[in-house]
Amino acid sequence: MSDNHAFRISIIDYLNAAPLNYGFKHGLGFEHFHLKFHVPSLCADRLREGLVDAGLISSIEYLRIPSLRIVPGLCIASPKRVRSVVVLSKVPPEEIRTLALDTSSRTSVVLSQILLRERFGVHPQVVDLAPDQTAMLDQCDAALLIGDVAMRARREGLLVLDLAEEWHAWTGLPFVFALWCVREDAPPLGVPGGAGPFFHKSLEMGKQNLATMVDEAWRTIGWTKPELQEYLTENISYSLGEAERDSLALFYEKAVKHGFAPELKPLRFL
């Protein structure tokens, strides 16, 4: 099948997305799908521009991109502590005046500012920078880092705000970082159920191969294998259930209130 007619999926190549992507990256539906690899911010941009038909997008982008459908039951969430989405600060959170924002991120950029404003009572000046910890902290009091870069970041001598942990302490809810979303004008797949079941099957394949992902990540991230296993099974959750939907509703309400999204809209599913 040519790229012009394939169902194009944008893939986030972070460890937290690896179980969701596993099947697609290992041949699932190869006759239907064409894979493209992006950081979260570019994934959202490509989906908005119609350059891909589906993407694992930062959850805030659902409010910003029109005509999307969410793949039901799936997400990247954290029940409490996420460990890979952090603000690293040289000062206590109440004293942060300047914040460097990881340009790879969209949802965490919004979440970090909501937490600092509403939970800690500060409204720092923000600077968008590439995810380079040293450069970010040279320029600012604190730095937001996400994904594998955050997992590898130096934390000695710095105050660490785990954003999911702060959200949970504040609201009692998990936090939803990303959603599989499909454009309404995506090409139909000539199979029963369409594209939706493939996303669930890809995660099933990922869960069956966690040891492989842990082994690969151990070589690149530097955490121990037990730490990586805990990360993929306890720090990260892939189920979009009632608590996750409640959390999204609250996050979206606050995002609109602070001007980070144009307006609220209901969750619409495939």
Q: Which ranges of 15-124 would DSSP assign to H, the alpha helix? A: 18-25, 40-49, 61-64, 107-114
DSSP bridge pairs for 54: 9, 182
Q: Is residue 113 helix, strand or coil?
A: helix
Structure confidence at residue 2 (pLDDT): 38
Token duo for residue 149: 């870069």
Token duo for residue 181: 């979303």
At position 68, the amino acid (one-letter code) is L
Distance CA 226, CA 185 (A): 43
The DSSP element (H or E) to which 250 belongs, if any, is: helix 242-257
Structure confidence at residue 1 (pLDDT): 37
Domains of the chain are: 7-78+175-257 (3.40.190.10), 85-171 (3.40.190.10)
The DSSP element (H or E) to which 182 belongs, if any, is: strand 175-183
Cβ atoms 56, 26 nearer than 8 A:
no
Say if strands 142-146 and 98-102 run parallel, antiparallel, or are unpaired: parallel
Return per-residue pLDDT of the chain as tens, 270 residues.
334 568 999 998 889 999 999 999 999 999 999 999 988 888 999 999 999 999 999 999 999 999 999 999 999 999 999 999 999 999 999 999 999 999 988 999 999 999 999 999 999 999 999 999 999 999 999 999 999 999 999 999 999 999 999 999 999 999 999 999 999 999 998 888 999 999 999 999 999 999 999 999 999 898 999 999 999 999 999 999 999 999 999 999 999 999 999 999 999 999
Model pTM? 0.95
Structure confidence at residue 6 (pLDDT): 84
DSSP bridge pairs for 69: 182
Q: Which ranges of 9-58 would DSSP assign to H, the alpha helix? A: 18-25, 40-49
CB atoms within 10 A of CB 118: 12
